[in-house]
Structure 1
Amino acid sequence: MNKLEQLAGLLDIIQLAFPEDVRLTVFNKEKVIAELPGGTLDWPTKIGEPMATFKGTVTSKALEEQQVFREERGPERFGVAYISTAVPVFEEGELLGVLTALVSTHRLEMLRNGTSKISNALETMAISTQEISQTSTDLATQIQIIQGQSEEIIKDVERSYAILNSVQEIAENSKLLGLNAAIEAARLGEQGRGFEVIASEIRKMADYCKQFAQDVQFQMDKIQKNVSMMHHSIEHVAAFSEEHTAGLQKINTVCEGIHVTSEELLASAKV
């Protein structure tokens, strides 16, 4: 019994070695000498069917060129997608025939389709992440601008306090001037009555300016408090925005890595 005949007797064992559905056929140089259909790869092939029937297939190519041939076929002809591999069988340097295995690519197609969907989803996710990241970057820029503006407002408030202090000093000096004028008017008696009226008005104006300055300072205190709170809030938002942007960049990097892996899986799934 030659090697080709031995292979023909071991087809059931060889079939069990494949994790996928597989159809096995053994050819000598002229015809089919043995076959074992698969579960879905079950179209009939007659024992003794001549090699001419298989012209143009990997089987005839393997027989003619005496080397292994492999090709992938879609479901157009038999309703099942498969990979066909033809291996020439030699014994002591002489070509005896060919062993052809047709392996279902059902699971492979599922892997390809799943990987392709993941790859497409990751591309979409990466684009969305980049857009969100860009928006976060723009937001961070705007926050920095607002932060700078709030710092300027704080400085303006501090400058306003300096002006208020000057107004209060003027009010105090005016009141003191009015008091001195009233003393001088009293010293002059009848002749100083005009000065007394002026002195009284100066004191009133000084009191009014002082009260006005106090009211303005009260409002400025409130403004300073609110601006300070806003400034701290902006600092917190800016810090969060930076963390958010950094997190998005990490996600984008992970997505790119998974996308590359998906492309590698797709490439490795090709025959």
Structure 2
Amino acid sequence: MSQLLSSVLTVAPILQKAFLFDCMVGVTDREKFLAYYPAPGLNLGIKVGDPLRPGSINATAIAEQRRVVRKISKEIYGIPYVAVGYPIIENGQVVGCLATGVTTDQEDRLRELAENLTNALEEIALHTESLAREADDLAQASHTLSDAAVQMENKIVETSQINDLIRTISTRSNVLGLNAVLEAARAGAAGRGFSVVAEEIRHLSQTTAQSAKSIFGILDEMNELVNLVSKEMEKTLNHSIHQSTRIQELSAVMQRLRTMADQLKQAAAAASREE
């Protein structure tokens, strides 16, 4: 056995403990395993004396005389891991291989978590955008209803003015009718027909006055309702604006979370040390 290969066999168990992560270490000559030290979470069941398998990382590193890095999927040994094969060269000849491996199970879970987080954030972002559009539509509708309420208040004021005019005419008609009745009474039999007409005028003016009073009552109730609607619409508008602001803030938070998820994916990819 070459002196260099013997030295590697001596330091292999020390080298395993020097790694930051749990690491398996294997040492081979050109044909078989001379030593194998499994990691707590990564044991391929290799035994000293097992021959090198064609196409394995050890055989490849020896055949091609270069460092080989390969990620092994979970389907091969049930454990995903990254292996590094480094040819041991002495006097220009390859005498063996030093192989190390670390599990990528944690990195894969981290990557899967990052992907799930990204997908969840994308879905939440879609709902947030939809809520933002609905909040804008609600705010626009509130503006429209608020403007309509103001216009209704103006119309109620105009109607009240017309009603005042009707009541004034009614009062004057009543006074004229009363005067006509008095004049008809002075005229005696000659003014009897005129007295009937005057009485009807007084009766009509009283009826008109009563109707005007009822209209005023209805208008007052409508005005109260319009004021109530205006106040509620103002509250709704304020809530809509507040909601829109909060949604914008939520969108900003979602963007930061999406960036963090992307960074997690990049960290997982870097940690896997793929070739």
Q: Secondary structure at the match of 2:154?
A: helix
Deviation (angstroms), 1:229: 0.5
Backbone CA RMSD of aligned residues: 2.9
Matches within 5 A, 1:166-205: 166-205=165-204
Q: What one-letter code is carried by the residue in structure 1 that aligns with 2:222? A: I
Q: What one-letter code is carried by the residue in structure 1 that aligns with 2:105? A: H
- 1:162-182 superposed Cα distances (whole Å, 9 cap, x missing partner): 111111111122122213323
Question: CA 1:223–1:4 in structure 2 vs 1: closer, same or farther (change >3 Å)?
Answer: farther
Work out the CA distance in 2 between the residues paired with 1:236 and 1:92. 87
1:246 counterpart residue number: 245
Query: Does 2:156 correspond to 1:151?
Result: no
- 1:20-52 superposed Cα distances (whole Å, 9 cap, x missing partner): 4321123456654433122243234354656xx
> Which stretch shifts more, 67-76 or 206-215?
67-76
2:261 counterpart residue number: 262
2:126 counterpart residue number: 127
Q: Secondary structure at the match of 1:102?
A: strand
Structure 1: tracts of 5 or more residues without a match? none
1:208 counterpart residue number: 207
- 1:247-269 superposed Cα distances (whole Å, 9 cap, x missing partner): 12322332232123213322332
1:140 counterpart residue number: 139
Deviation (angstroms), 1:66: 5.3
2:14 counterpart residue number: 13
Identity %: 27
**TM-score of the pair, normalised by structure 2:** 0.83
1:231 counterpart residue number: 230
Deviation (angstroms), 1:127: 1.9
Work out the CA distance in 1 between the residues paired with 2:56 and 2:159. 93
Deviation (angstroms), 1:236: 0.3
Work out the CA distance in 2 between the residues paired with 1:89 and 1:154. 94
2:107 counterpart residue number: 108
Matches within 5 A, 1:69-88: 69-88=68-87
> Which stretch shifts more, 246-255 or 12-21?
12-21
Question: CA 1:40–1:183 in structure 2 vs 1: closer, same or farther (change >3 Å)?
Answer: same
Deviation (angstroms), 1:92: 10
2:218 counterpart residue number: 219
Q: What one-letter code is carried by the residue in structure 2 that aligns with 1:161? A: S
**TM-score of the pair, normalised by structure 1:** 0.84
Q: Secondary structure at the match of 1:99?
A: strand
- 1:194-220 superposed Cα distances (whole Å, 9 cap, x missing partner): 222222221221121111111110111
Q: How many residues align?
A: 269
